[in-house]
Amino acid sequence: MSEQDKLYVDGVEGTSRFVSVDGVRLHYVEVDGPDDAPPVIFTHGGGPGSTGWSNFRLSAKAFSARHRCHFLDFAQYGKSDMVVVDGPVFTWHAKKLLGFMDGLGIAKAHLVNQSFGGCVATALAAAHGERITSLTMIGSQPVGHGVIAPLPLTTKHARDIFPAYFGGDGPSPEKMRALIARLEFHDDSKVDAENVRLRHEASINPAYLELIRTPGFFGQPDDLTALLQRVAVPTMIFWGLHDWFGGIDVPMMMLNRFADARLHVIGNAAHHLQTECPAEFNAAALAFIEGYTA
């Protein structure tokens, strides 16, 4: 194994690995941890260049002290295969997430998920809740609309995100920094250079740039509103008060319909609060999942 297969943060070493699920090769970063507790699987958001490691690397040290950790790249992201999603997007990825667990021999795990990843995890929890020890979601919107107002991510403004980043002169570190500051963080000064580097590098993968030119590559819309009442696993919903992608009515809807949920709102944070406020997130998330670790 070469040094290129290793990733480092805060004195913690991660190892780059792959597993095949239904003919789709999925990449993940594994960080060793105790095996006497359920492992933690981290899944990422849907923004350009997002990966499990880039979205959650600042949680690696805290979580791996208590659990073996897997930072997954969904298909179409990071080093995973660039394949067209055929069907409703969250449900399609949920099947691959279940296959990922089967491939690694994971009977049950804690799922910690950013935005898009939380929507995928919601679909999995509704269908196979017995495989999930606890569910943690950050800024996830598995619904087609809010209670009070339409979701900003469904408006014409959100449709400009990918064209603005990939258009013109194409992707650049400067455009990535601006995207993270504008859409994902409340405090622009907390956008760190390593986050920008990792996200930008993943966004210029030639196979990915080819994929996004394919009409319908992302999959079909997938509104999970009707499935929310089927989610019975213990759930913690994190929300940044300044989240551009949805108002507080969205997590309140999930809080009302999930069988066993609670809500943690951070006032000085936005969509990627685990990166913007890592100490608060790690402490609160670990306190929650430890309550469900046998």
Secondary structure string (H, E, C) spanning 60-84: HHHHHCCCCEEEECCCCCCCCCCCC
Architecture of domain 3-290 in this structure? 3-Layer(aba) Sandwich (3.40)
What order do you get walking across the sheet with 235-240 strand by strand? 6-9, 12-21, 24-31, 69-72, 40-43, 109-114, 132-138, 235-240, 261-266
Residue 127's pLDDT is 98
Alpha helix ranges (H) inside the chain: 52-56, 60-64, 89-103, 116-128, 161-166, 173-179, 193-203, 206-211, 249-257, 273-276, 278-290
Q: How confident is the model at residue 294, as a pLDDT?
A: 60
> Hey, is 243 helix, strand or coil?
coil
Q: Domains of the chain: which residue ranges?
A: 3-290
Instruction: Read off the tokens for 4.
Output: 């290129």
10-residue stretch averages of pLDDT, the chain, 294 residues long = 80 98 98 97 97 98 98 98 98 98 98 98 98 98 86 71 92 97 96 98 97 96 97 98 92 97 98 98 98 81
Question: What pLDDT score was predicted for residue 144?
Answer: 87
* Cβ atoms 220, 144 nearer than 8 A: no
Q: 62-88 burial, b for 16+ CB within 10 Å, e for fewer?
A: bbbebbbbbbbbbbbbbbbbbbebeeb
Q: Say what the pLDDT of residue 146 is.
A: 83
